[in-house]
């Protein structure tokens, strides 16, 4: 059997298309448009099927704090009702599976080059004080998880930490995968690489039609997109004077250059 050809370099014409795909996916990553419930349900169900799990019960909440406060009270062991966290399973069976198919057809050095060119407008691609990197895509942070931890401890100290921890650390924002989807899209559309059509469609649907998700075996918790996001120059959640992220119902998250401004102090006080 002949050895498959591995792409090691881009043509000048292909190089010129990199900004086109970055400009396509950046607005998707930052979208705060209201979601369409039917499309959101279809995207969640498709992702579960591809992860080899039955379609889940889907519960909709206005924000993650509301969801956790409600579900952490379901019996003494809420995760008996929810099932195990599926984030890692989905990553392995869908996103990683698709990425591995793409990566087998392209040299590692070129993979890194394309990813860097998609994410950063200019070199250098690694931060230093003289030349800080400027990202096109949001750097996802733990600010939401940290805000939830503080608020749950403040307002619901009766809830078991081991239960609420499983909720806070299961939260994902599929739109954050846009930085990877941008590369995959370029490799499929421009380089004409082989790919898994079902998995690529499922990833696109989750990115484009879902807000924040907490995915468990039997239940998927869905919350809307943010109604507000504020950033510093390097696309980290940040605001000195107000919340940096806010849900449509007003639930707010505070951030200072990608970190919750009170979390370290909170940890020290409660440890």
Closest CA to 255 of 165, 137, 151, 146: 146
CB 143 within 8 A of CB 253: yes
Enumerate residues 6+ apart whose C-beta is below 8 A from 48. Answer: 54, 55, 56, 86, 215, 220
Rounded Cα distance between 232 and 38, Å, is 34
CB 226 within 8 A of CB 245: yes
Tens-digit pLDDT profile for the chain (271 aa)?
Answer: 344 679 999 999 999 999 999 999 999 999 999 999 999 999 999 999 999 999 999 999 999 999 999 998 766 678 788 999 998 988 899 999 999 999 999 999 999 999 999 998 876 566 666 666 778 898 888 999 999 999 999 988 888 888 889 899 999 999 999 999 999 999 999 999 999 999 999 999 999 999 999 999 999 999 999 999 999 988 899 999 999 999 999 999 999 999 999 877 665 444 4
CB 235 within 8 A of CB 139: yes
CB 222 within 8 A of CB 60: yes
| Residue 91, number of CB atoms within 10 A of its CB | 15
Rounded Cα distance between 180 and 175, Å, is 10
- Whole-number pLDDT of residue 59: 98
Enumerate residues 6+ apart whose C-beta is below 8 A from 244. Answer: 143, 229, 230, 231, 237, 238, 253, 254, 255
**Residue 186 Cα to chain centre, angstroms:** 19
**Cα separation values, 27 from 30, 176, 198, 211, 265, Å:** 5, 11, 24, 14, 35
Rounded Cα distance between 263 and 271, Å, is 12
Rounded Cα distance between 117 and 15, Å, is 9
pTM: 0.91
- Whole-number pLDDT of residue 268: 41
In the three-class reduction of DSSP (H, G, I as helix; E, B as strand; rest coil), residue 20 is classed as helix
In the three-class reduction of DSSP (H, G, I as helix; E, B as strand; rest coil), residue 198 is classed as helix
| Strand positions, DSSP E, 107-218 | 171-172, 212-215
């Amino acid at each position: 059997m002949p050895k498959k050809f591995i792409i090691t370099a881009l043509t000048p014409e292909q190089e010129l298309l990199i900004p086109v795909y970055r400009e396509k996916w950046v607005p998707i990553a930052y979208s705060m448009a209201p979601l369409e419930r039917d499309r959101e349900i279809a995207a969640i169900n498709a992702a579960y099927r591809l992860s080899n799990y039955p379609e889940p019960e889907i519960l909709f909440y206005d924000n993650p704090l509301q969801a956790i406060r409600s579900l952490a009270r379901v019996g003494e062991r809420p995760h008996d009702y929810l099932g195990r966290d599926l984030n890692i399973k989905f990553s392995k069976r869908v996103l990683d599976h698709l990425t591995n198919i793409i990566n087998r057809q392209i040299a590692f050095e070129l993979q890194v080059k394309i990813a860097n060119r998609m994410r950063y407008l200019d070199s250098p691609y690694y931060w230093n004080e003289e030349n800080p990197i400027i990202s096109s895509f949001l750097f996802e942070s733990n600010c939401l998880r940290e805000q939830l931890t503080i608020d749950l401890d403040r307002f619901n100290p009766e809830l078991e930490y081991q239960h609420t921890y499983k909720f806070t650390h299961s939260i994902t924002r599929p739109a954050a995968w846009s930085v990877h989807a941008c590369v995959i899209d370029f490799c499929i559309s421009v380089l004409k690489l082989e790919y898994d059509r079902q998995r690529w469609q499922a990833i696109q649907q989750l990115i484009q039609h879902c807000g924040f998700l907490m995915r468990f075996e039997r239940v998927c918790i869905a919350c809307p997109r943010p109604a507000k996001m504020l950033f510093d120059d390097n696309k980290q959640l940040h605001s000195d004077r107000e919340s940096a992220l806010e849900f449509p119902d007003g639930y707010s998250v505070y951030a200072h250059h990608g970190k919750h401004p009170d979390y370290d102090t909170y940890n020290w006080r409660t440890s």
